[in-house]
Structure formats: C-alpha cells, structure tokens
Amino acid sequence: MTTILDGKQTANTLMADLKDTVSAMRAQGVTPGLAVVLVGDDPASAIYVRNKQRRAEGLGINSVKKTMPATTTQAELLAVIDALNHDASIDGILVQLPLPAQIDADTVIEAIDPNKDVDGFHPVNVGRLWTHTPGVVASTPFGIMALLAHYDIDVTGMNAVVVGRSNIVGRPMAGLLLNHNATVTIAHSKTKDLAAVTRQADLLVVATGLPEFITAEMVNPGAIVIDVGMDRNAAGQLVGDVDYAAVAPIAGAITPVPGGVGPMTIAALMMQTVELAKRRLNA
C-alpha cells in the first residue's frame, strides 16, 4: 500500500499548533512580524504574496506588505529593506522573486539582515546550512523535512537522490538531508544515465520543473517520492515533475500535486517566522 504524504492536511495540523504558539507569544507581548516585499506586477507573484499574507494573518502573525512599482530602482528597494532590517516589530523579511530586470536579486538578498532572512537565501544562512549550524533554511526543503517528520520517516542511512540543484530547492534539500544523515546524491541536467541514479534512491526528491518527467522505470519500487514540481502539462493541467499515475502504485510513499509540497512550503515560512520572533521573548 502506497502512503500518500498529504501536505495539505499536515500543514493544517502544524498550523493549528502554530496558532496556539502565536497566541501565547502575543499574550507575552510579542507579535511575530513578517514583511513581504512585492516589486512589479507579476500576477503569479501577487497570488503567492496574497496566499502568504492570508496564512500569516490567520495565525495572528503581523503581516506587512510593501508593494513597489515595476519601475522601482535597486536603491529604492535597498532603502526599504534597510528600514525593515531596523524595524523591531519585523522578524522575517521576504522579497518575492523574480525581481524586475534593473534589480540584481543577489544584491537584494545580501542586503537582508541574515537573522531576518526568512527565505534562507542569504549566503550566511546557506553557509550555516552547509556547516550544520542553526539558521534559516529555504522554505520548500524545510517543509519537506517537516512532512517526512510528520509521517515518522527517518532518513538516516537512506540513499537520497535529489534531482535538481537550484538554490531554492535542490541544493538546500541536499544539505538538509545530509544533516539528517542520509547518503545524498545530487543529479542535474548533465547527469549521465539519470534513471540508473534515481533507481538507487530510497528517497527521491524531484525539482526539475519538467512535467511528469520521472517515470515508473526510474523509480526503485517502495521508494519514498517527493515531487516538488508545479508544472502545466500539454492540456494545461497542474501536474508535478513525477508521472503520478504511473509512479504512485509502485512507490512506498508519494506526495500528490497539488496538496503535497506546496502547502508545506507556506507552512515552513510561517514556522520559521515564529521561530525568528521567539528570540524577542528572551531579549
């Protein structure tokens, strides 16, 4: 029997607990604060930002949205970040990507105070991940680890294969799995005989952006399959990077798309915002 790793239900359970945590913190005078900066009018970005804000507000987190026009200069954006860095009511700062062409995303990420960098993209937090020291971790991999933990899946000693090496998913995923004692392989577009690599996986995490790319022949029967993809197939339907219909029957456990990794990503953002705010309780 394949276990369906239900990210929606897991996120709801974790968020109910988090809501209690936030209300206890508020009673002690600390309201976690999340600032989301949206530059330009990319419709997908606007939806992501709205979803994050709704979730934050539902938990009792103070959600602050800074909307800036597509013509914003880099200096103007850096000034907003600097103000947020110095705003004691803000614990987490997130700049929604992508940014307009005149703005260099790396410069912007590096301008965020690493201790407020709730996306975990700042090089200091990347370094903390790879030196296995406490820091903020990118939301998607953090959410995947929370999902595995919720299902009591211990990755210790597992052969974990991560397909994809982006800064927001593949690389931090590999770092977290390594920190949790998995034996990790990172595959990418230059990997030779990918199927031979993926078939070695006890745990297969796929983040390629290629619709239904992972077929049943590429999966070790009984493997745990985590599908990060959010893609459109030829018919325009939302699908993952894994051919779910073919792989689900042979997998030991699998995440659906939608309802798997997506809801856990947003939950992870909330969990880490609250963690960052906890420091104010002891200040």
Which positions touch ligand NAP (CB under 6 A)?
Answer: 140, 163-166, 168-170, 187-191, 194, 207-210, 228-231, 261-262, 265
Helix (H) or strand (E) holding 204: strand 203-206
Q: What minimum distance in Å lies between the beta carbon of 264 and ligand NAP?
A: 8
DSSP conformation letters of 48-98: HHHHHHHHHHHHT-EEEEEEE-TT--HHHHHHHHHHHHT-TT--EEEEPSP
* Catalytic annotation present for 28: no
Q: What minimum distance in Å lies between the beta carbon of 159 and ligand NAP?
A: 17
What gap in Å lies between CA 242 and CA 238, rounded to an integer? 12
* Nearer to ligand NAP among residue 37 and residue 144 (C-beta): 144
Phi, psi of 183 (to 5 degrees): -95, 115
Which of 6, 117, 119, 227 is the catalytic position?
119
Number of H helices, E strands in the chain: 10, 11
* Nearer to ligand NAP among residue 63 and residue 140 (C-beta): 140
To which residue do tokens 């013509």 refer? 71
Structure tokens at 57: 């507000």
* Nearer to ligand NAP among residue 58 and residue 98 (C-beta): 98
* Catalytic annotation present for 52: yes
* Nearer to ligand NAP among residue 116 and residue 165 (C-beta): 165
- Which distant-in-sequence residues (6+ apart) come within 8 Å of 142 by Cβ? 120, 176, 268, 271, 272
CA angle 51, 41, 74 (to 5 degrees): 105
* Catalytic annotation present for 96: yes
What gap in Å lies between CA 246 and CA 243, rounded to an integer? 6
Which of 6, 52, 91, 117 is the catalytic position?
52
Q: What minimum distance in Å lies between the beta carbon of 76 and ligand NAP?
A: 27
* Nearer to ligand NAP among residue 135 and residue 164 (C-beta): 164
Q: What minimum distance in Å lies between the beta carbon of 258 and ligand NAP?
A: 8
In DSSP terms, 93 is beta-bridged to 35, 117
Q: What minimum distance in Å lies between the beta carbon of 186 and ligand NAP?
A: 9
Which of 6, 96, 241, 272 is the catalytic position?
96
Q: Which residues are catalytic?
A: 52, 96, 119
